[in-house]
C-alpha cells in the first residue's frame, strides 16, 4: 500500500505524458518549468487511488473506467479560481454605460426582446451574479427574456456558484448598497437573493467542447476574463473561434486586462470605448449598425 508520507517525484517523461493528456482534455497547458507544480498538486491523487507513482497515475487517467471522473476532479486541483464581485470596474463601467445601451437600442429596433450573456470560466459565480446585479440596477428590461449563463470546467466551483453563498473575500470591492439590496446574511456569510439568481444559469462546460458550446445558442456578449492565459496558442485559437461562432453579429467579447487577441484572431474589431477597450464581432457588410 502506498505510504501517505512518501515523496513521489515525477520524471520528465511522466510530466510530458500527463501534461499532454490534460492538454488534450481541456486545453490547459503547462511548460516544462511547471513540473514541480504538477507533481505537488497531483500527489494527493496518487495517495487517494493508492498508486505507487506517476506512471501508474497516467495509466489510470488513460485507461481506467473512472478516468473521465478523475479528469473532472483534477480540474479543481490544477485551476486557480480566485475571483470576487465587481472585478475590473473599468470594464464593467464600459459594459453598463456603452455596451448594454448599444445592444438594447439595436434590439429594440429589430423587435427582439432577449438578452443573453455568457460568463465563460465563471468560477464560483461572482462574475455572472455581478452581471445580473448590474442589469437589475440599470433597469429597462421589463418584459425582456434576460439570461446570463455561467459555465466552468471545475465541478467544485460550480457547486459553490449554485449555492450562491459568499464570504468576506468575495466582497473586497463591493459597495455596501449592493450587499444590502441583493444579498441576505446567513451564518456569517451572504447569500445571493432570488431576483439575482433567477437571471443566472450555472452549468459545467469544457471550453474545448465545441459540440456542447454549440448547444448554448447565440450570445450578445461573452465574458471570458483571465481564462485563456492558461491555454497555449492553439487552444486559445480554438476557444476564440468558438466564441466568434457563438456571438451574434455585433456582439461583444470581454477579456481580462492582461489578455488580448494579438496573434490569435483577426475576426474581431477592437473597440475603444470611453472606459475600456473591448472586442466586437463585426456586423456583416451592408447590415447597418456599428462595424
Q: How far apart are CA 135 and CA 131, in angstroms?
A: 6
Compute how many other C-beta atoms are within 10 angstroms of the C-beta atom of residue 83: 19
Q: Is 164 left (phi over 0), alpha (psi -120 to 50) or beta?
A: left
pLDDT attached to residue 229: 84
Q: Please determine, looking at this structure, whether the domain spanning 89-280 carries the CATH number 3.40.50.150.
A: yes
269 pairs with which residues across the strands?
Answer: 280
Structure-block grid coordinates of residue 5 = 508520507
Distance of CA 208 to the CA centre of its chain: 12
Task: Specify whether the CB–CB gap between 257 and 89 falls below 8 A.
Answer: no
- Who contacts 200 (Cβ-Cβ below 8 Å, separation ≥6)? 125, 128, 129, 132, 148, 149, 150
The sheet that has 189-192: what strands, in order across it? 165-166, 189-192, 183-186
Architecture of domain 12-78: Orthogonal Bundle (1.10)
The residue extents of the domains of the chain are 12-78, 89-280
For the chain, which ranges sit under pLDDT 50?
A: 1-5, 289-291
pLDDT attached to residue 2: 42
Compute how many other C-beta atoms are within 10 angstroms of the C-beta atom of residue 72: 17
Task: Specify whether the CB–CB gap between 179 and 171 falls below 8 A.
Answer: yes
3-class SS string, the chain: CCCCCCCCCCCHHHHHHHHHHHHHHHCECCCHHHHHHHHHHHHHHHHHHCCCCHHHHHHHHHHCCCHHHHHHHHHHHHCCCCCCCCCCHHHHHHHHHHHHHHHHHHHHHHCCCEEEEEEECCCCCHHHHHHHHHHHHHCCCCCCEEEEEEEECCHHHHHHHHHCEECHHHHCCCCHHHHHHHEEEECCEEEECHHHHCCEEEEECCCCCHHHHHCCCCEEEEEECCCHHHECHHHHHHHHHHHHHHEEEEEEEEECCCCCCCCCCCCCEEEECCCCEEEECCCCCCCCCCC
Same fold for the pair 12-78 and 89-280: no
pLDDT attached to residue 291: 40
pLDDT attached to residue 82: 73
pLDDT attached to residue 114: 97
Distance of CA 110 to the CA centre of its chain: 30
pLDDT attached to residue 81: 66
Amino acid at each position: 500500500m502506498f505510504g501517505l508520507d512518501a515523496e513521489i517525484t515525477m520524471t520528465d517523461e511522466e510530466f510530458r505524458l500527463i501534461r499532454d493528456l490534460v492538454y488534450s482534455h481541456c486545453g490547459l497547458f503547462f511548460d516544462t518549468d511547471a513540473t514541480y507544480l504538477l507533481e505537488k498538486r497531483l500527489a494527493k491523487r496518487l495517495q487517494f487511488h493508492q498508486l505507487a507513482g506517476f506512471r501508474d497515475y497516467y495509466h489510470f487517467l488513460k485507461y481506467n473506467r473512472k478516468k473521465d471522473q478523475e479528469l473532472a476532479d483534477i480540474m479543481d486541483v490544477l485551476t486557480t479560481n480566485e475571483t470576487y464581485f465587481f472585478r475590473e470596474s473599468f470594464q464593467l463601467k464600459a459594459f453598463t454605460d456603452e455596451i448594454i445601451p448599444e445592444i438594447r437600442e439595436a434590439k429594440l429596433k429589430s423587435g427582439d426582446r432577449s438578452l443573453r450573456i455568457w460568463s465563460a470560466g465563471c468560477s464560483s459565480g461572482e462574475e455572472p451574479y455581478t452581471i445580473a446585479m448590474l442589469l437589475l440596477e440599470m433597469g429597462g428590461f421589463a418584459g425582456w427574456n434576460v439570461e446570463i449563463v455561467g459555465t466552468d470546467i471545475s465541478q467544485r466551483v460550480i457547486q459553490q456558484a449554485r449555492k450562491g453563498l459568499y464570504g468576506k473575500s468575495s466582497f473586497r470591492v463591493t459597495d455596501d448598497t449592493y450587499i444590502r439590496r441583493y444579498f441576505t446574511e446567513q451564518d456569517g456569510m451572504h447569500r445571493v437573493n432570488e431576483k439575482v439568481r433567477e437571471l443566472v444559469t450555472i452549468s459545467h462546460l469544457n471550453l474545448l467542447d465545441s459540440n456542447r458550446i454549440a448547444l448554448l445558442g447565440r450570445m450578445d456578449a461573452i465574458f471570458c476574463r483571465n481564462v485563456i492565459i492558461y491555454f497555449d496558442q492553439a487552444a486559445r485559437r480554438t476557444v476564440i473561434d468558438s466564441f466568434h461562432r457563438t456571438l451574434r453579429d455585433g456582439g461583444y467579447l470581454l477579456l481580462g486586462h492582461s489578455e488580448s487577441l494579438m496573434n490569435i484572431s483577426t475576426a474581431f474589431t477592437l473597440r475603444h470605448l470611453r472606459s475600456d477597450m473591448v472586442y466586437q464581432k463585426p456586423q456583416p457588410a451592408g447590415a447597418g449598425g456599428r462595424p
